[in-house]
Amino acid sequence: MSDSTPRDQSKISDPAKEEFDRGCQFMENHDLAQAANAFHNALLDYKERRDDKGIANASDKLADVCLEKADYARALPHLDRAMAICEPANDDFSITALRKKYARAYDGMGEHTKALEVNLVLLETYKAFGDPGSAVRTLENMAKTYLAMHDREKAAEALRTAADIHLSFKHTRHAAEFEARAQELLKD
């Protein structure tokens, strides 16, 4: 065979992918500083190559690092960058994952009204997807947000809605647990 045979693509080095993978390893080991550095390096390489998928993934991971460090405000530009790529691509799965992170960031920043707005969009998404489990988890998050806003009635309402979802699937034990939690919030 001649030397002009294409090399095996799996053996060709991709520095951005290698940095990204290193960042994931650092995240698993809770080495957030090293993870941020690796994801940042990967982002720069992806930007240079105009690789939108890589930019979105590296941005998402940088947001994860910020959220883990409770640096909520710093997570937002990374989420914005990823969302700007995912929305035009109609990548519903990624958009939903990013929205969950936005809600967490807004809650962490004390911007509870924004967090609730995002969670309401998530509830509609889960309804459209037929995903009651995620809807219940979102309602639990909303209850926590309402409590942070000192609105026990709305927190209880969110928990009762979660109970109703469980009841619709004949999960009476789970429904009773959510109802009890709602009742507990309304006690003086």
Tell which of 109, 125, 141 closes a domain.
109
Same domain (yes/no): 105, 123: no
Tell which of 53, 88, 109 closes a domain.
109
Same domain (yes/no): 56, 105: yes
Domain residues for the domain of 148 are: 110-188
Classify residue 71 by its DSSP letter.
-
Same domain (yes/no): 94, 122: no
**The tokens of 174 are what?**
């789970």
Task: Read off φ and ψ for residue 185, nearest 5 degrees.
Answer: -65, -30
Same domain (yes/no): 98, 48: yes
Nearest residue to 136 via CA among 146, 147, 150, 126:
126
pLDDT: is 13 or 16 the higher one?
Answer: 16
Domain count across the chain:
2
Segment 46-62 mean pLDDT: 98
Question: Is residue 1, in this structure, part of any structural domain at all?
Answer: no
- Give residue-wise pLDDT tens across range 132-183: 999 999 999 999 999 999 999 999 999 999 999 999 999 999 999 999 999 9
User: Is pLDDT at 124 greater than 50 in this prediction?
Assistant: yes
Distance CA 20, CA 52 (A): 14
Same domain (yes/no): 104, 138: no
Distance CA 81, CA 46 (A): 13
Nearest residue to 108 via CA among 75, 150, 59, 84:
75
Segment 105-123 mean pLDDT: 98
Distance CA 1, CA 4 (A): 8
pLDDT value for 139: 98
Nearest residue to 65 via CA among 33, 95, 42, 17:
33
First to last CA, the chain: 83
Same domain (yes/no): 24, 61: yes
Tell which of 76, 109, 142 closes a domain.
109
Q: Which residues contact 14 (CB under 8 A, 6 or more apart)?
A: none
User: Is pLDDT at 184 greater than 50 in this prediction?
Assistant: yes
**The tokens of 143 are what?**
């209850």
Question: Is residue 155, in this structure, part of any structural domain at all?
Answer: yes
Question: In which element (H, E) is residue 109 found?
Answer: none
Segment 59-87 mean pLDDT: 98
CA angle 183, 187, 122 (to 5 degrees): 45
Percent of the chain with pLDDT over 90: 93
Same domain (yes/no): 59, 136: no
Same domain (yes/no): 123, 180: yes
Q: How many CA atoms are closer than 13 Å to the CA of 16, on its beta-carbon side?
A: 18
Q: Which of 8-17, 83-92, 119-128 has the lowest mean pLDDT?
A: 8-17
